[in-house]
Homo-oligomer: A and B are copies of this chain.
Amino acid sequence: MSGKRGLTHNHANRILDGSSMEEAAARLLPDLSAPSCELPSWGKISNERAYKAFGKLNISREISNVLLDGEKEDLTTYQGNIENAIGLLKMPLGVAGPLRINGLSAKGDFPIPLATTEAALVASYHRGCRTITAAGGCSAIVLNESISRAPAFIFESSTDACRFVVWAVDHFESFQKIATTTTAHGKLIDLGCTVEGNHVYANFEYTTGDASGQNMVTLATQAICDEIIATCPVKPTRHYIESNLSGDKKASSRAFSSARGKKVTAEVKLPQEIVRKFLQTTPRDMEDYWKISAIGGVLSGTIGIQGHFANGLTALYLATGQDAACVAESATGITRFEALEDGSLYASVTLPGIMVGTVGGGTSLPTQQACLKMMGLAGNGKSRALAEVCAGLLLAGELSIIAALSAGHFSRAHRKLARTRKPS
């Protein structure tokens, strides 16, 4: 099936993985059973309070020990994750949730570990998580998956650039084979070429199993470039493994047209009473604010429309050993709130570029691995679920901040929680 519709078709097949549409749809329905536990927020923190939470959340001693009683570690534990090591940075970890996710891959009540030094952040996301869970959870779906390297090939003329493109798209199958020689998990799924004068920006798109995959696609694309240089009859005068088109480490409009990592959506429908009880406002007030903020974002020239994706995403990326610098590219997307005719609130977030893995990178470091295990999302087969949890968390964060802003509580919350800090 040619064209973009073919990519969509293939993704659907991959993600359904043999289950029927009806089975998939059933997983995504709200689940109104009682949450696995109730976890009220605590601003006054202590080790004791932390153990109490671990107990409630039914988290094993093995995990809590790593996070709370960690033995002094030798730096060699971090070999391969850093150079010029001079020590360890310590950041406090808070927990939000449990957050009920009814995802294609993630299913259940997830405690969400968040690493941050910013007062009010965990409390705000926690409030949003509890709200979602009280409503039976949010649905979450990985809409697309792709990670790319975009080499540039420079030619004498645009004529040669075009000849190269025709050759390259016709040699795609051989590129796929070359890619498999460098990686067992990565799979080349498409090649999109942009000709600009005598330049070709060639976007090689891959799936990368459960790794975030930036290194994997670099190595595979290097091998492909080597082959191109060796065999292509249209010789480039110069070429580069990356042309800055792939969107690596920066927000780009382009992500909306395809995907960067995992494209995910999460949504929830909140009855008016839940909005009132948990968020102290109304669906109508939230939609009213949403409209203002959408235009505020547009006036300031942002990419997408959203409130503070970066806050929760950074905290969760850090806690789970992701590359936090990817927040620059991941924290874009669309938040949408609507007051429905039945009085409830529809809320969704859609992110085109969640960059997460459950293997590789920093995921196997002690505290990071403990955080992944706490969520049941460590190791192979879990990256889509982690992406869905990300989307659910950000939905929670948007609900909480928009509620605070629409109800006029925003500055109050910040004043109160930051004030508990010890004088420095």
Contacts and interface: CB of A to CB of B under 8 A. Distances in A.
A177 interface: no
Interface string A248-261: 11111110111000
A88 B180 CA distance: 39
Contacts of A365: 90-92, 117
A300 interface: yes
Nearest to A363: B424
Contacts of A292: 152, 154, 199, 240, 243-244
Interface in A11-38: 12, 21, 24-25, 28-29
Interface in A117-166: 117-123, 126, 139, 141, 143, 150, 152, 154, 157-159, 162-163, 165-166
A207 B373 CA distance: 43
A267 B156 CA distance: 11
A417 interface: yes
A276 interface: no
Which of A121, A350, A359 has most chain B Cβ within 10 Å? Answer: A350
A85 B74 contact: no
Which of A80, A165, A246, A315 has most chain B Cβ within 10 Å? Answer: A80
Contacts of A306: 250
A117 B362 contact: yes
A259 to B, nearest CB: 10
A116 B254 CA distance: 27
A83 interface: yes
Contacts of A88: 67-68, 70, 90-93, 367
Contacts of A256: 194, 254, 299-301
Which of A256, A307, A420 has most chain B Cβ within 10 Å? Answer: A256
A296 interface: yes
Interface in A182-221: 189-199, 201, 215, 218-219, 221
Which of A247, A303, A309 has most chain B Cβ within 10 Å? Answer: A303
A323 B312 CA distance: 12
Interface in A224-255: 238, 240-254
A1 B173 CA distance: 10
Contacts of A7: 2-4
Contact of A299 (B94, B172, B194): B194
B42 A84 contact: yes
Contacts of A301: 252-254, 256, 301, 303
24 contacts: A3-B3, A5-B191, A49-B85, A64-B87, A89-B92, A90-B366, A91-B318, A117-B361, A118-B361, A118-B362, A152-B292, A196-B334, A197-B267, A218-B410, A222-B411, A240-B405, A243-B296, A244-B296, A251-B251, A251-B303, A252-B302, A291-B291, A294-B294, A295-B336
